[in-house]
Structure formats: C-alpha cells, structure tokens
Structure 1
Amino acid sequence: MTETQPYDSADYLETDEALAEYLTAAFEEGDTALFRHALGVAARARGMTRIARTSGLSRESLYKALSEDGNPSLDTTVRVLKAMNLRLTATVPHASEPA
C-alpha cells in the first residue's frame, strides 16, 4: 500500500524570492480567491504569529481575513505583504502576454 502525505505549498516557500514568485503567479491568474489563498499560504510559510506581530494585526483577524471565506481589505493585504518584506507592483504586460 502506498502511503501519502498531505501537500502543503507553505513547506516549499523558504525564500523571499520563492514567496514573490508564488504570489505573483497567483495574482496573474486574475482570480481573487486564488490570490487570497496564496497570501494565506505565504503567511503560514513565514509564520502567522510573526506576520501578525510585524503587520500590527491580531492573529485572529489575520486567520479570518485569509480564510477560505475571508475577504482581506487592500490595507490588510499590503500590511501582510510588507510584513513578509514584499510589495505589490503593477507592470505593463509584454505584447505577447494577455492583458
């Protein structure tokens, strides 16, 4: 019998660069639920207690905002990104990329 273990993306997001690439890929999909999920995974990878402390948010509000039913405000999103030493940027897509 083959044994399996649950997969958790947070286990593989060990560097700032990996976090940035992961969140960028999720954001580029254009699906806000996917981005919210990815932001939660990234926050777990860095440690929710650390993110809460650094962002000035309570752990409870952080978990709620980043939950499946959550809807984090732009302020919360920016504070979480800043706590992970990341920032949100806008770019113009290359001519070969869809807008």
Structure 2
Amino acid sequence: MNDLGHGQIWWADLEKVRPVVVLTRASVVPLLSRVLAAPITTTVRGLPTEVPLGSAEGVREGSVANLDNTQLLPVDRLLHPAGRIDAARWPEFCRAMARVMDC
C-alpha cells in the first residue's frame, strides 16, 4: 500500500465494511503490519473526541471520526481508499486524540 498514512480515509473490513481515518504516520507504515485507525460513523454523540466529516473528505454528510474507538487494524483489512483529510483539518484530530487520552 503505497503512501498509506495519516489523514487518509480507507474502506476497511471491520466485521462490516466501513470507512476509517488512518492515524499512523506514513513514515512508519512500511515497518508495521497494523495501523492505528478511527472508525467513521453517522452516530453522532457530540463528544469532544469526534471530528465532523462530510463530502469534502469523501464520506457521507453528517459523519464523524470517532477517536474514542481507535483500533489497530491489520493493513490487509484496508480495502481501498475513499478520501483524505485536508492537512488544515489535522489539528482537529490532534485535539480530539488529546481528549481521548485526557491530556
């Protein structure tokens, strides 16, 4: 998987196929068999650990990346790319992850 890294949205096999945001930095992906990813869902709870997403990122309007449910996924569970997070939005993910860890 060339150029796999943080900010990419992939369709993944998570028992059911759903989109995820890859959080692992690209420079280490070739060394790993798993990547850290956050599932994307339309179940919005209004938590500070959710990042709103929509058609600009290649997913359904009203979706969120739920960073409370991040998981290590085997790279072979990533099926195909679906979109990308604009670099200007990446700080939202950093803030949400800091909230996950209560930093």
Kindly name which structure, 1 or 2, has the bigger radius of gyration based on alpha carbons.
1
TM-score, scaled relative to structure 2: 0.29
TM-score, scaled relative to structure 1: 0.30
Which structure carries more helix by proportion?
A: 1
Higher relative contact order (CA 8 A, sep 6+): 2
Which structure carries more strand by proportion?
A: 2
